[in-house]
Structure 1
Amino acid sequence: MKHLLYIFCLASTWSLFAQQNDTKKADSIQLHQIRVELETIFKKDQTFRRIYQEAEKKLGRDSFEMEYFWEVVEAQDKVLEKRVCAIIDTHGWLGISQVGRLANTTLWAVLQHGSVASKEKYAPLLKASVLQKESRAIHYARLIDRMLINSNKAQLYGTQYEYDDKGKASFFPIETPELLNKRRKELGLNSMEEFAASLKIEWTQTSKQ
């Protein structure tokens, strides 16, 4: 439960808005330039991930070629993460009304594929943006869950799942699953039952955790 308390403390509303207000406000011209850049970054972030399944079928999941494929992706991820972090450090977590939905999504998408350290650092800013209805709650949930999974801890919102060798999907372990729907509701998400059904993944509170 220690890491659970840590996450909620990390997301303290007072500290979130303080951090957001310390950043430099961009004018309309800068925001347009940043928007265009972020939308380009999104394309770079997603391109390889959109074709990896086809590449696996052609080259083999455990092939040398696929190993190199993911080395290239990881190298690019680091470059994109560095740039996105620089933008956030300078201008804060740019909301949908400032740069549009896609550019706003880019901030989350790149950090989702980035380091645990970056997720920990910027999660409070994303939470503040969500509270202002300038970012999507599901992005915050996924960022927190990915951060916990990357740290070998149980997720909080049940957004992360994996496939076994037979192609069957199952959710990563969930912290206090009996409180899962309460946490999801507080964030404005639908129930876990509805979410699991939309993915066609079996889940109950008694599922293996």
Structure 2
Amino acid sequence: MFRVRLLGSISVLVTLGISQATGATILPTQVVYSNWTEETEEARICEIILDVSNPPSREVVKFIMLAGYNKFDSEVLAGFLMAAADIMTIDKFEIVQISDAAFNSGAFSSLGQLGYEIYDDGTVMATTDDPQIATPFISAVLAGDYELSFSRPEPGAGARTYKIIPAPPDAVTSNFIDCMGRVEAQSKLARLSASAKRSPLPE
């Protein structure tokens, strides 16, 4: 349900320059957080969007922490969507295929805990419907000081690890928490309604 709005655009945060070196951990110079909220007939989705770049590298990374409520089955999922792109010209980018995408902090690692899907367009999604896993993941993103890593398949590309120090700004965090409050309320109401429909009426 979360790919209703795929990575529609990669924010162009960089000027044209060299390709990103591989191997060492990258401490990006440009880290920009924002929010996105969407409600359709099928779902309500809350997002914190992170755009990362490290000029003069041409590589940009988009990481989306997302949580949402599926209106058909009352399921609440949480996780992330990750993509990388190469800036070709000032107004053109090319999303690249990535694999082995991971979120790691001192408190949470996505590997072995989130379920992964890799798509033909180059993006990677990892989600869970277990609140005991989703809660520490969301808390780790909101706390900042974490790493985003992925691999590019072309020969010699190697792995990338971006070290993200800043936490989302208070306004971005507040918007996400407010959105999630509405998601949880909708999901709870839907479950109660479904339970009432299943219960036999007293004679």
Q: Which bracket does the TM-score occupy, shorter chain normalised?
A: under 0.3
Structure-1-length-normalised TM-score: 0.23
Return the structure number with greater relative CO, CA threshold 8 A, min gap 6: 2
**Higher strand fraction: Structure 1 or Structure 2?**
2
Structure-2-length-normalised TM-score: 0.24
